Structure 1
């Protein structure tokens, strides 16, 4: 009966001629069918669209009707990996959230170079991409390279890429390319190597999470200079070793510091007491 009720409501909206000014629409947690796309294409002013946990299939062709949408939330949707290259048609896109959307296989890393000159036409201010499962990511999966469209982004303010098994070294280019970045969350991936700081200090970065990866080596001694305004720092569940960087004591804005489950030691106990009390 609930399904029937939702479909009747949708048909009523489809017949309505008065939604040309609608800018924000939340259809989350309903039971619409795929006819929803024919309705959405009749909303020329739509800017923000929430379609979280809907019983619909999102095909790349459906996005051609959403070229004016700036904020798109498709959390808990089931998407194939050809979905990411298809978002190039959304020329107004600024925020994209694909939390726990079940992406599998190899994430695209070259499709944008093959289809666009100079990168994608949109500039995101936020992206949230994670797998669908609450448990550990399958470290044997073929996911690895960053989608190339991220290399072209210059306006990002919030980035969360978790449990997607991204590999390689720390993407400090994200910080160098996006000077207004406030939040960078990369937990539960497969990054490895030493933790590489950005070229210039990032005074606006407030939160950094690189937990549950495979970083090793020392925590850089000049980390406080690189992130002077940091309030949240999680470096747990890695393979960091050596002594705890004494410059952590200079991070006067720091409110949360998590260094658990590494191979760290304390060379000067008085230094660690100072850091812990900051």
Structure 2
């Protein structure tokens, strides 16, 4: 029998009348549950996770197994009307993620006999009404359910022992009126439509919080400094909101455990951190797309940073050479600021660097020759600066997939190693002073290619025609003459060729 059409072997299984725990997870069982499972009246735990079961739970044997305490049904095709469990007084945990969940089938309200400690529903359809009667929850997940209405402050208030709350991916509106939850460790309300200000005393409301994710809402007002005094906070994501004001000094206090801080896409301003602060724990720092100004604080050199993104701000001064003193850096993004000076050769000490983005600044001079030591680089963005010379120093970057050098003053020939030694999939050289012919080797690698506005001469390689024939079914367009590239660093599988050559005509091909 094919693994795609397995049925639960009821013979023998249903005879185990005193069985207390049953796990069938991670199989390929399909169809409805055997009715003889009703015989397992002592069953406390049943785990059916990651199968292909179907059917309505109301008519299944589970509805009559009143001894159940732990019910794990995630990733099946069950229909689950929760009224089926109204009399299950021992039920403590329900995990019904990614099913055809039916929260309520009748307009008549019902009061359950159970008090859940954990409930997880991903892709449900509405707010479960029985939650109004729950007071012992420690874990709550209602994610990606598109539930509308005011944020359920009442739900948090009714369950003072909550340790983890995940209400992300809904359509909650209104404001936050958060109760005191001393046990809360993780709080995720991202991807909603929550408005208003954050409680200024949120640090004392959730005193033991470790992870807070509130991104992609409409929160406004000042960023509460009380976040910085949370003794256990390790991850804070408030990106894509409307927060204003300065970055609180408390975020960089001595003894802080804050390792990930993401404040992208807000309206924060001022200097990033004053000189007197301690920045010794940040590993991931995202302050991009704000209105920060002034220099990049040298205190950052003492942090064990892995990712630093300060792009799309108003930062000024020379590009800091001391960033080369952070050996843990794998991603450095400083694009769209007002930084000036030469690219520091100190960056060559960043042996693990994978992403370097210094685009749209006022950088001058040549790329340091020591960049030839980089072997881990995957994506390099240096467009819209005043850089010059050649760029042979990237020939040893065997992992390089994206190279964007548009709108600089680079000169010389287009290197053959771009296609022969490396396998660069996105090559953007538009708006430089490159000369000579187009190497045929580029056909071996490039999927997005822009050589426009250079001084290239000679024939167009015949192999470009082969690319057209091979990929004429691709429908995603990532380049337009009016608007430029859209997401060229992510749509690496599409073919885009833009050549405006120095003969009497120009050729632009889009696939």
Cα displacement (A) at 1:9? 3.7
Q: Is the 8 A contact 1:98 1:128 kept in 2?
A: yes
Q: Is the 8 A contact 1:172 1:196 kept in 2?
A: yes
Q: Is the 8 A contact 2:41 2:66 kept in 1?
A: no
SS in 2 for 1:89: coil
Match of 1:250 among 211, 226, 229: 229
Unmatched 5+ stretches in structure 2: 262-278, 282-511
* CA–CA separation in structure 1 for the residues paired with 2:8 and 2:46: 20
Match of 1:186 among 158, 167, 171: 167
Match of 1:25 among 22, 26, 37: 22
* CA–CA separation in structure 1 for the residues paired with 2:17 and 2:89: 20
* CA–CA separation in structure 1 for the residues paired with 2:149 and 2:231: 31
Unmatched 5+ stretches in structure 1: 133-142
- In the other structure, the counterpart of 1:167 is 148
SS in 2 for 1:225: helix
Q: Say if 1:2 and 1:42 are closer, same or farther in 2 by CA, change over 3 A.
A: farther
- In the other structure, the counterpart of 2:11 is 11
Which structure carries more relative contact order (alpha carbon 8 Å, separation 6+)?
1
Cα displacement (A) at 1:112? 5.9
* CA–CA separation in structure 2 for the residues paired with 1:189 and 1:181: 20
Q: Is the 8 A contact 1:110 1:147 kept in 2?
A: no
Cα displacement (A) at 1:218? 1.6
Matched, 1:108 2:104: yes
Please say which of residues 47-56 and 182-191 is displaced more in the overlay: 47-56
Q: Say if 1:54 and 1:39 are closer, same or farther in 2 by CA, change over 3 A.
A: farther
Choose between structure 1 and 2: higher strand proportion.
2
* CA–CA separation in structure 2 for the residues paired with 1:5 and 1:223: 52
Cα displacement (A) at 1:172? 1.9
Q: Say if 1:268 and 1:258 are closer, same or farther in 2 by CA, change over 3 A.
A: closer
* CA–CA separation in structure 2 for the residues paired with 1:9 and 1:37: 8
State the Cα RMSD in Å. 2.6
Cα displacement (A) at 1:65? 2.6
Match of 1:48 among 45, 56, 62: 45
Please say which of residues 256-265 and 157-166 is displaced more in the overlay: 256-265
Larger Rg: 2
Please say which of residues 3-12 and 183-192 is displaced more in the overlay: 3-12
- In the other structure, the counterpart of 2:82 is 84
SS in 1 for 2:142: strand
Q: Is the 8 A contact 2:228 2:252 kept in 1?
A: no
Q: Is the 8 A contact 1:156 1:181 kept in 2?
A: yes
* CA–CA separation in structure 2 for the residues paired with 1:39 and 1:3: 23
Choose between structure 1 and 2: higher helix proportion.
1
* CA–CA separation in structure 1 for the residues paired with 2:8 and 2:20: 22
Q: Say if 1:24 and 1:112 are closer, same or farther in 2 by CA, change over 3 A.
A: farther
